[in-house]
């Protein structure tokens, strides 16, 4: 098929990674473009600032309190040198005169100031640490919950690696801001304001010259802001790409090693890593220019003040002492600007991370929970109806138009060629997606009108991929019904014939199945995920090739269990082994997204249609 793909391929890859001989390894896909227009950029920044505001708002009171603590701490810190001055200027002469009182008092004051300084520093550090951790916790909770309720289509597009990078590396970028930034910022803001005021009081014209630095600083700051916005965005993207590469490699390490993919992966990783380094390097470069630029402005202003001040002294407008004091304060005025520059830098980095996080939070579910859910009639009967359903994952339609009624309690087998759309139909029944047109109903209620909890209690699907979580076998089975006790869990395992192998494991039900159930064989994993669904005990059970990796005797055990379980339940069973199919009440044959045959197994086998063909072929294959 010659699709319009070639043209699209060219444009997409041009927008993405740098064009080199190997750039197309990742393949083409429709994805968001990373190049941003100016207005989009402003929009993103606004959104991320809003998110930061929302996160910080609950802690406003704490922040005011922290500000007060910082003020006290700074005053106490500044008191030290002052007291020493007092000590040398008056206490020592007094001592020489034989009066040790002033020395004692100065020392006491000095110790008190040190205690006050240290105490308030402790309060500040622990307090700001607490606020920071609360903010992070809130953010983690929010993003995690949100990601969890986003539809499968989101996850398929976004990939787990990117989601992981959002929830780890991006959250940590904010942590850095909260860890390191707040202290410097508050201190700096405080000293700049107070010293600024002092400068203006000392001598207005000189003070104005000193303030001349601010327009310059503003310009430099603007430049820095523009540049770092782009630069930090890039660091976020490149680290995400790196994390995607990392998780994929080690998620499929068997294939990587068996097919000697390592050298190529080294190369790909090195390239992504280098891109990440370059992105970071750009940000480093900007800050390497920005901070000295701020210092330079401070130095130029200092020289200007020095020159102008000297002239004013010579003209007799001010005293030498005023100039000296002015210059001393000026230094203290400009030094904190570096702290502000550093804070601004962390802020920019965190904003870029928050842009990404707020992007995820902005994603709206395409299979949303209804605002006013329709209650399911109790008890749930389990009638499933597809009414004029049309569906496709992307542009291509997978199910062109489907009308199907599965009466309550019926066991329906769904067969057909691979890629016909069987799993797709099953996913619609479990509302992994919503149909493009038409509705899917359970007991007469559209699935879109049901509360998620109700729906999941009623309909459970065992997917083609038997994913297990790391943790014990009991935990994994219990996932089907968290309030089940050990006897119920064991009963479920026994019912489908998994009890035997589980007991043979060294720690029985408490054996840790490890990452993705790697401790178990493929068939054992399937049994455990089957037991999980069995325990959930839903009104409608959807099985998507749930026994494909089992040996024949195990499969037979499962079928026996199903026969009892499904007696009064609706079931949709997808299978290629027709043995699983034949105990169904009804068989549907699917082809290219349509149901082409529909009848009881006996009818269809006896007929001349596709199922009869299929059955014959299958019976032959058994030899």
Ligand X SMILES: Nc1ncnc2c1ncn2[C@@H]1O[C@H](COP(=O)(O)OP(=O)(O)OP(=O)(O)O)[C@@H](O)[C@H]1O
Does 32 engage in binding with other proteins (CB under 8 A)? no
Handedness of CA 214, 220, 223, 227 (dihedral sign): negative
Q: Which ranges constitute the DSSP H helices of 505-548?
A: 522-536
In the structure encoding, which two tokens stand for residue 149, read together? 């309720």
Measured from the CB atom, the residue of 441 and 532 that comes closer to other proteins is 532
Does 163 engage in binding with Mg ion (CB under 5 A)? no
Footprint on residues 82-121 left by other proteins (CB under 8 A): 84, 87-88, 91-92, 95-96, 103, 106-107, 110-111, 113-115, 117-118, 121
| C-alpha Rg value of the chain to the nearest Å | 35
Task: Report the partner that residue 136 touches, choosing among Mg ion, other proteins, ligand X, none (CB closer than 5 to 8 A by kind).
Answer: other proteins
- Beta-ladder partners of 12: none
In the structure encoding, which two tokens stand for residue 364, read together? 């709206």
Q: Which of 538, 545, 539 is nearest to 578 (CA)?
A: 545
Does 469 engage in binding with other proteins (CB under 8 A)? yes
Task: Report the partner that residue 295 touches, choosing among ligand X, other proteins, Mg ion, none (CB closer than 5 to 8 A by kind).
Answer: other proteins
Footprint on residues 116-155 left by other proteins (CB under 8 A): 117-118, 121-122, 125-126, 129-130, 133-134, 136-137, 140-141, 144-145, 147-149, 152, 155
Q: How far is the CB of 74 from ligand X (least distance, A)?
A: 58
Q: How far apart are CA 538 and CA 317, in angstroms?
A: 91
Q: Which of 413, 422, 409 is nearest to 581 (CA)?
A: 413
Q: Residues in the site for ligand X, rule: CB under 6 A?
A: 156, 393-394, 398, 416, 418-424, 464, 518-524, 549
Does 549 engage in binding with other proteins (CB under 8 A)? yes
Give residue 432's region: left, alpha or beta (phi > 0; psi -120 to 50). Answer: alpha
Measured from the CB atom, the residue of 45 and 356 that comes closer to other proteins is 356
Does 446 engage in binding with other proteins (CB under 8 A)? no
Does 559 engage in binding with Mg ion (CB under 5 A)? no
3-state secondary structure of 157: helix
Q: How far is the CB of 423 from ligand X (least distance, A)?
A: 3
Measured from the CB atom, the residue of 317 and 613 that comes closer to ligand X is 613
Q: Which of 535, 517, 515 is nearest to 473 (CA)?
A: 517
User: CB under 5 A: which stretch of 196-204, 240-248, 250-258, 515-523 binds Mg ion?
Assistant: 515-523
Q: Which of 542, 533, 558, 538 is nearest to 406 (CA)?
A: 542
Contacts of 420 (CB under 8 A, 6+ apart): 590, 591, 592, 593
Footprint on residues 273-312 left by other proteins (CB under 8 A): 273-274, 276-277, 280-281, 284-285, 287-289, 291-293, 295-296, 299-300, 302-303, 306-307, 310-311
Does 9 engage in binding with other proteins (CB under 8 A)? yes
Contacts of 329 (CB under 8 A, 6+ apart): 195, 198, 199, 202
Footprint on residues 411-440 left by Mg ion (CB under 5 A): 423
Measured from the CB atom, the residue of 522 and 619 that comes closer to Mg ion is 522
Contacts of 548 (CB under 8 A, 6+ apart): 464, 526, 575, 576, 577
Q: How far apart are CA 497 and CA 291, in angstroms?
A: 69
Beta strands in 468-579 (DSSP E): 540-544, 570-574
Binding track over 562-601 against other proteins, x by CB under 8 A: -x------------xxxx-xxxx----------------x
Q: How far apart are CA 113 and CA 83, in angstroms?
A: 9
Binding track over 374-413 against other proteins, x by CB under 8 A: -------------------xxxx-----------------
Task: Report the partner that residue 214 touches, choosing among ligand X, Mg ion, other proteins, none (CB closer than 5 to 8 A by kind).
Answer: none
Closest residue to Mg ion, based on beta-carbon distance: 423
Q: How far apart are CA 306 and CA 236, in angstroms?
A: 44
Closest residue to ligand X, based on beta-carbon distance: 523
- Beta-ladder partners of 256: none
Q: How far apart are CA 93 and CA 87, in angstroms?
A: 9
Beta carbons of 176 and 346 less than 8 angstroms apart: yes
Binding track over 377-416 against Mg ion, x by CB under 5 A: ----------------------------------------
List residues binding Mg ion (CB under 5 A): 423, 521-522
């Amino acid at each position: 098929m010659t699709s319009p793909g070639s043209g699209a391929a060219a444009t997409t890859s041009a927008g993405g990674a740098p064009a080199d001989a190997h750039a197309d390894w990742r393949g083409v896909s429709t994805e968001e473009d990373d190049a941003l227009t100016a207005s989009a950029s402003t929009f993103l920044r606004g959104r991320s600032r809003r998110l930061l505001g929302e996160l910080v708002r609950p802690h406003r009171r704490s922040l005011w309190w922290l500000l007060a603590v910082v003020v006290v701490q700074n005053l106490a810190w500044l008191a030290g040198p002052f007291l020493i001055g007092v000590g040398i200027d008056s206490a020592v002469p007094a001592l020489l005169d034989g009066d040790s009182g002033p020395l004692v008092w100065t020392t006491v004051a000095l110790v008190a100031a040190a205690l006050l300084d240290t105490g308030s520093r402790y309060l500040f550090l622990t307090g700001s640490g607490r606020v920071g951790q609360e903010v992070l916790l809130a953010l983690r909770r929010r993003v995690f919950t949100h990601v969890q309720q986003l539809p499968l289509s989101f996850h398929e597009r976004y990939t787990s690696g990117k989601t992981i990078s959002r929830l780890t590396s991006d959250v940590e970028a904010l942590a850095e801001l909260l860890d390191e930034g707040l202290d410097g910022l508050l201190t700096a803001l405080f000293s700049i304001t107070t010293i600024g005021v002092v400068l203006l009081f000392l001598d207005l014209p000189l003070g104005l010259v000193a303030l001349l630095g601010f327009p310059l600083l503003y310009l430099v700051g603007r430049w820095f802001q523009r540049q770092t916005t782009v630069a930090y965005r890039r660091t976020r993207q490149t680290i995400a790409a790196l994390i995607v590469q990392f998780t994929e490699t080690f998620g499929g390490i068997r294939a990587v090693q068996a097919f000697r993919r390592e050298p190529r992966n080294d190369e790909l990783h090195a390239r992504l890593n280098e891109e990440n380094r370059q992105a970071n390097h750009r940000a480093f470069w900007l800050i390497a220019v920005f901070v000295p630029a701020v210092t330079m402005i401070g130095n130029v202003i200092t020289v200007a003040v020095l020159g102008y001040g000297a002239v004013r002294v010579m003209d007799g407008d001010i005293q030498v002492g005023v100039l000296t004091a002015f210059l001393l304060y000026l230094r203290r005025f400009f030094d904190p600007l570096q702290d502000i520059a550093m804070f601004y830098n962390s802020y920019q980095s965190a904003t870029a991370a928050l842009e990404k996080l707020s992007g995820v939070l902005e994603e709206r579910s395409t299979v949303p929970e209804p605002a006013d859910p329709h209650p399911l009639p109790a008890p749930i009967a389990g009638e499933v109806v597809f009414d004029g359903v049309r569906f496709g994952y992307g542009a291509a339609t997978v199910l062109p138009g489907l009308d199907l009624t599965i009466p309550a309690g019926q066991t329906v087998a769904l067969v057909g060629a691979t890629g016909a759309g069987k799993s797709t139909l099953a996913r619609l029944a479990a509302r992994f997606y919503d149909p493009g047109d038409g509705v899917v109903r359970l007991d007469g209620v559209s699935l879109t009108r049901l509360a998620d909890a109700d729906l999941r209690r009623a309909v459970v699907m065992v997917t083609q991929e038997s994913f297990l979580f790391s943790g014990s076998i009991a935990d994994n089975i219990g996932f089907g019904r968290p309030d089940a006790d050990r006897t119920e869990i064991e009963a479920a395992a026994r019912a489908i014939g998994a009890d035997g192998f589980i007991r043979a494991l060294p720690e029985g039900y408490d054996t840790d199945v490890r990452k993705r159930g790697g401790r178990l064989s493929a068939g054992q994993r399937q049994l455990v995920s089957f037991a999980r669904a069995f325990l959930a005990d839903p009104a409608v059970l959807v099985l998507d090739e749930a026994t494909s990796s089992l040996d024949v005797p195990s499969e037979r055990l499962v079928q026996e269990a199903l026969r009892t379980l499904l007696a009064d339940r609706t079931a949709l069973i997808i299978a290629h082994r027709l043995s699983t199919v034949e105990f169904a009440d009804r068989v549907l044959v699917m082809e290219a997204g349509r149901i082409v045959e529909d009848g009881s197994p006996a009818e269809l086998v006896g007929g001349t249609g596709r199922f009869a063909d299929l059955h014959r072929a299958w019976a032959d294959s058994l030899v």
